[in-house]
Structure 1
């Protein structure tokens, strides 16, 4: 700078705001600025927003000061956008439109008639019990939408805690977890499934200890049914020798039919060729089925309606069993 030349003061950001202005400070003023920019009139914008005109003028002026740039050129009672103002308005309009889409999605999610329920359930419940529940519920709430998730119990409960699921139909029923609420609904018999030519296939009932030396096929570790069946075997006095592991009950029935082992499984809806299902008299091989949801999390109207409907089916969830 030449000697004697006056200094030029450049707009600067207030020191307390730091290198970048927090969005939480910008957001309210951006919406107010957009209203003024659309109408090109501060008084009309103030009336639209339901706020005093001086308050709106100060808000826009503060926004300009915080950004360090003029956004509006005042011309009497009207205003015109500067080039910087036009650039900002384009981004603000896109942001506000996205916020409105988000707000609409949130409203739609909770709509009592058309909202959404994220519902997780066991694979073994998906062939009959869950379709029957959904059919009967939709008779009263025909437009409620469902996101259906089938997974093993541990994964579903984690998604429940994280808020990704609203409700879960699970076994075993979680107990002692302060993050969850669980209600027992029903219990389901587990049968010993053996190949049709098995030495015990002619029997109707057996004790589980009678197959202690047999190879077993079972679900992978982490599945609730695997933990339950391992527990029954332990109660019968042995640790099952797992020959094959799978992820789905009907696959296990196929493995049994092929002579690759025996399995403890819920009853088949349709008789499977090549296998026989035997009632186990000792121990009492039944698993509890329950409904779980996150503790302390408000339920939307459609979630609350479906939760109450499922709870009303206590003792009748597995009528086919």
Structure 2
């Protein structure tokens, strides 16, 4: 079994068309067909079946594709480690992040890092909490910033960088807008604007309200912070958000108010896989992030 056979197989499987795979790989269609035939002969099974001008994976072909993707990722990671071992300052890092950390934390950290390591490149990917955890496990991204930090996942190593409180965001015209602080139960009759179910900030908000003795009435959903803040500004409802989402400024026509009870918060940190070592440039960045937030914590103390 040859590595190029696995690449050819993967490309045909994903495109379901031999000629399209040949164009993408810049090789002759006959070469791909021959290599896949050799692979099937070696394995003793049919990986594809024809459907008109297209091809479809057989049941065993789908199983083999899963393992092929894993093998290719492992080989590409090994090559990356070798390349970066020769020159750690010219690596490329895939970083994941959620929308709640996109406006301040991510640009601040990368900007500071690039001043010291200008030749290390970044590929950035925004995603939901579950997507980021799964992507780190599956080697789709190398590291991810996340909040809250998972603490009991057997495949993830999470490092807490800081903890932050959760505050309420109300329309400026709201009767409680002039309060210095409030109990979350004060909002039991309000309509809430939240992230959709499945987002971790949705769970934090709903769990917080239930801890305060009520289930929130959700009037609207927003899939990013700007949408949620905009809906609150328009008087559609209230919401609760982490402090890091207010670093730049509280949105116009709104008031941010601390929550006294229950005391809500979340951890924010960086996650890495437990089952593999970081490539040299990834480790340079990971260590920088730990040191950067450690120094910030010292100044704050």
TM-score higher than 0.5: yes
Instruction: Please report how far the alpha carbon of residue 284 of structure 1 lies from its aligned counterpart in structure 2 after TM superposition.
Output: 1.1
1:242 to 197, 202, 218: 218
1:161 to 137, 141, 157: 137
- Partner of 1:188, secondary structure, is strand
Unaligned runs of 5+ in 1: 1-21, 27-101
1:288 aligns with 2:267: yes
Tell me if structure 1 keeps the 8 A contact 2:142–2:282. yes
What is the aligned partner in structure 1 of residue 29 from structure 2? none
What is the aligned partner in structure 2 of residue 225 from structure 1? 201
Change (3 A) 1:278 1:137: same
Instruction: Please report how far the alpha carbon of residue 215 of structure 1 lies from its aligned counterpart in structure 2 after TM superposition.
Output: 0.6
1:125 to 101, 122, 132: 101
1:112 aligns with 2:88: yes
1:270 aligns with 2:270: no
Higher percent of residues as helix: 2
- The structure number with the bigger radius of gyration is 1
* Deviation string, structure 1 residues 265-292 (Cα, Å, up to 9, x no partner): 1342123111111110111122111211
2:114 to 120, 138, 143: 138
Of 243-252 and 265-274, deviating more is: 265-274
1:310 aligns with 2:289: yes
- Partner of 1:290, secondary structure, is strand
Instruction: Please report how far the alpha carbon of residue 201 of structure 1 lies from its aligned counterpart in structure 2 after TM superposition.
Output: 0.8
Tell me if structure 1 keeps the 8 A contact 2:161–2:269. yes
What is the aligned partner in structure 1 of residue 176 from structure 2? 200
Tell me if structure 2 keeps the 8 A contact 1:167–1:292. yes
What is the aligned partner in structure 1 of residue 157 from structure 2? 181
Instruction: Please report how far the alpha carbon of residue 314 of structure 1 lies from its aligned counterpart in structure 2 after TM superposition.
Output: 3.5
Count of equivalent residues: 222
What is the aligned partner in structure 1 of residue 186 from structure 2? 210
- Partner of 1:292, secondary structure, is strand
Instruction: Please report how far the alpha carbon of residue 126 of structure 1 lies from its aligned counterpart in structure 2 after TM superposition.
Output: 1.2
Instruction: Tell me how far apart the structure 2 counterparts of residues 233 and 194 of structure 1 sit (CA, whole Å).
Output: 15
Unaligned runs of 5+ in 2: 6-75
- Partner of 2:276, secondary structure, is coil
Instruction: Tell me how far apart the structure 1 counterparts of residues 126 and 270 of structure 2 sit (CA, whole Å).
Output: 14
Of 142-151 and 109-118, deviating more is: 109-118
Instruction: Tell me how far apart the structure 2 counterparts of residues 195 and 214 of structure 1 sit (CA, whole Å).
Output: 11
What is the aligned partner in structure 1 of residue 167 from structure 2? 191
Instruction: Tell me how far apart the structure 2 counterparts of residues 248 and 167 of structure 1 sit (CA, whole Å).
Output: 22
What is the aligned partner in structure 2 of residue 33 from structure 1? none
Instruction: Tell me how far apart the structure 2 counterparts of residues 103 and 144 of structure 1 sit (CA, whole Å).
Output: 16
What is the aligned partner in structure 2 of residue 300 from structure 1? 279
